Amino acid sequence: MCEEITEYFFAHPKVQNLLKSQEHFDAVVVELFVNEAVTIFAHHFKAPLIILSSLGPNFWINGLVANPEPPAYVPNLFLNFNSEMRFSQRLYNFLAGIFCQLNTHFLIYPNQNKILKKYYPDGPDLSEIIYNTSLIFLNSHESIHEPVPIVPNIVHIGGYHVTPPKTLPKDLQHFLDNSKEGAIYFSLGSNVVPSQMPNDTRDAILKVLGSRKENILWKWDQDSLPNQPPNIKLSKWFPQQDLLAHPNIKLFITHCGLLSTTEAVYHGVPILGFPIFGDQQMNAERAATLGVGKFIDFFTINEKNLKEAINDILDNPRYLRNTKYRSELMHDRPVKPMDLAAYWVDYVIRHKGAQHLQVAGVQLPLYKYLMLDVLAIIFVIAFTIFYSFYRIVKHCTTQTIKEKKH
């Protein structure tokens, strides 16, 4: 899918016109998500390459700047593990990391390189561009992500998309202001069509939410729901950030996309997650680990577990307390994340790519980075000593036996 999207991008006439233009740019910023061929723009315009990752630290970007990713406590992006892994989880995490690296270097990069050469035949190899990354912005922050090692040219700007709340439309403002028992906001984001959920799942959610004393705002792609209770208000779109800022929102039922999770924590609203795919499972696991919410696998939702989860989150004050604490951490920053991003872009431009921020590991081949040559020598020496000792002991034992026979 990502290859097709990258192909479509390069084939677009406006992209081709841009590649053929004599425009000048001081820096090139690209969002990287299995579309590495787009980094050719940095080479073409002879500008520093700045990468924006819509996720937190992950195997797609760590290797580009030799950012450490210890499998002992840094879980793979697609695994619902936290930093305190059992032996079986660490083993699985280690093997998943190897698989992802092999997939990246032997499948994704070669295919992206083919696309690059097809549309920019005179350009350099992909490896000459992506490993010359000046800066990486991560959509993460210590308030919602577990702390991990970060090299100097990686910068956290999680929450950069959050804006000050605006006035709500009159109907929503009236609805929330008059929700004396509070309100619950339910949205599965923009990539899921809610009306396509199984009928049993929809009916279970509808029955539980319809029986609540709180009012419900439900992002739904149709004009009505079968047997819609009076406390549920539907809309095909809601101003999510502005809703979450309203003091009467007591719970956010979400698919646990990173942006939605970030917004909920920013505004201090506990989460009930229904993770479905991608990084959502990890985000849900992280929310549970931080104590800002709970999650239920979307395909196991029923009346019993949904009712229990909502009651626990709303009746147990620790969820709200933990969420407010994490919200304080997210707000307690020396500068706003967008101001931080702007500073670092200017910094990279001023210092012509800021090569001094790149760690030496970027230039090392994999066997050196992993110390495989050193380990091999140690193994050979240890084996030689052990084998020599074994031969000496065996020889001495043989001689002793012969002397006793004589």
| String of DSSP letters for 54-122 | SSSS-HHHHTTTT----TTTS--TTS---SS--HHHHHHHHHHHHHHHHHIIIIIHHHHHHHHHHH-TT
Tell me what pLDDT residue 405 has.
65
Using CA atoms, how far apart are residues 326 and 316, in angstroms rounded to an integer?
17
Q: What SS3 class is residue 164?
A: coil
Tell me what pLDDT residue 402 has.
67
The whole model's pTM is what? 0.86
Residue 16 contacts by C-beta under 8 Å, 6 or more apart in sequence?
A: 10, 119
Tell me what pLDDT residue 46 has.
94
For 86, how many CA atoms within 13 A lie in the half-sphere containing its CB?
A: 3
Could you tell me if 112 and 68 are in contact, meaning their C-beta atoms sit under 8 angstroms apart? Answer: no
Low-confidence ranges of the chain (pLDDT < 50): none
DSSP string, 249-287: EEEEEE---HHHHHHHHHTT--EEE---STTHHHHHHHH
For 389, how many CA atoms within 13 A lie in the half-sphere containing its CB?
A: 6
Tell me what pLDDT residue 406 has.
61
Tell me what pLDDT residue 393 has.
86
Tell me what pLDDT residue 225 has.
87
Backbone CA torsion sign across 212, 213, 219, 222 = positive
154 strand-pairing partners: 136
